[in-house]
Amino acid sequence: MTATLSVPPPPASPRPYHFPAFERRALRNGLNLWLVPLPDRELVNVHLVMDAGAAAEDEANAGVAALTAQLLVTGTRSLDAAGFADTTERLGIEMSSESSWDWARAAFQSVPRHLDEGLGLLSEMVREPRLDPGEFERLKAERLTDILQARADPGRLADERFLRQLYDEATPYHRLSAGTPESVTPLTLDDVRRHHSTHYLPGRANLIVAGAFDQDALLRSAQEQLGDWDGTGPGHRDIEPQAAGGRRIVLVDRPGSVQSELRVGLIGISRLDPRFFKASVMSAVLGGVFWSRLNVRLREELGYTYGAHTYLDLRRARG
């Protein structure tokens, strides 16, 4: 039998897909719960998402949202960093925390029998983080080192300069969400405490649970662990991105670089735009995957580049 490898097989019909049903509940303190039962799964994923990302911070404190989120997994009121790590290991759960422009998130994954204990640990790390001075200084130093290393990397340097040229200085998006050396260096632990007390509140939060769980038991656990959490905080900060100017070509000279990085772009749509799905498909076809049109033409056919791609950096406001 001889196989013809030069002729791709015809595409098959799409497989049927049914989005999992979900239910929305709310605790008495205003915390929204999004429940997605998947009884055939062996794990449960829990995400507590708060409106506490970089868009909520002042420009002078740029980077405080990222540092606050990082500190959550370094201990709680009753557990230091080592004790926190030992507890997660004993329970066999993976705990994480991170932030973006629009949100801060604390999350864990566990087997169903440890869901209640995991939710208790999640509640404590978000509501009563240890905020240890030594851990703060360590993470702050790592953040400053990472920012400086980024400026020594042509790709990351191009990303930073691209944002600076795309948005005007009144738009927070003109910088990276991790902050700058000028904004991170003077940050103190008190700045982190203020950001946490102002923005880590149930009126600005959503708890998403997906996987194998007993719904009644989960609701009881959520009420017990998070029901007495109170506060609403300030309203969401709306951002109206403004362009820095018209079309321009910017050259960033970095002596010693062995290759060049090119960025071309403009302010696009927000994640809430009804054209989101159409734009995502368009971007994938143009340059979102290896066999996209841009990469095939510029890399495979012409050999001009190691890779060419497109992506949509979408946020609540226009990204």
Q: Convert the pLDDT of each residue in 245-300 to its tens digit.
A: 788 888 988 888 888 889 998 888 888 889 999 999 999 999 999 999 999 999 99
pTM, to two decimals: 0.87
The total domain count for the chain is 2
The rounded mean pLDDT for the chain is 90
Residues 115 and 193 in one domain: yes
116 domain-assigned: yes
Same structural domain, 108 and 199: yes
Q: 166 with 244: CB under 8 angstroms?
A: yes
pLDDT at 1: 52
Q: Which domain holds residue 307?
A: 268-319
pLDDT band at 3 (very low <50, low <70, confident <90, very high): low
Q: Any idea what the CATH number is for the domain that residue 32 is in?
A: 3.30.830.10
User: Which segment of 9-18, 71-80, 184-193 scores lowest on mean pLDDT?
Assistant: 9-18
Among 111, 113, 114, smallest CA distance to 43 is for 111
Residue 232, pLDDT above cutoff 80: no
Nearest residue to 40 (alpha-carbon basis) of 216, 208, 211, 210: 211
Any domain includes 297:
yes
Are 316 and 271 in contact by the 8 Å Cβ rule? The answer is: yes
Residue 250 lies in a domain: no
Tell me what the mean pLDDT of segment 195-199 comes to. 94
| Residue 231: pLDDT over 90 | no
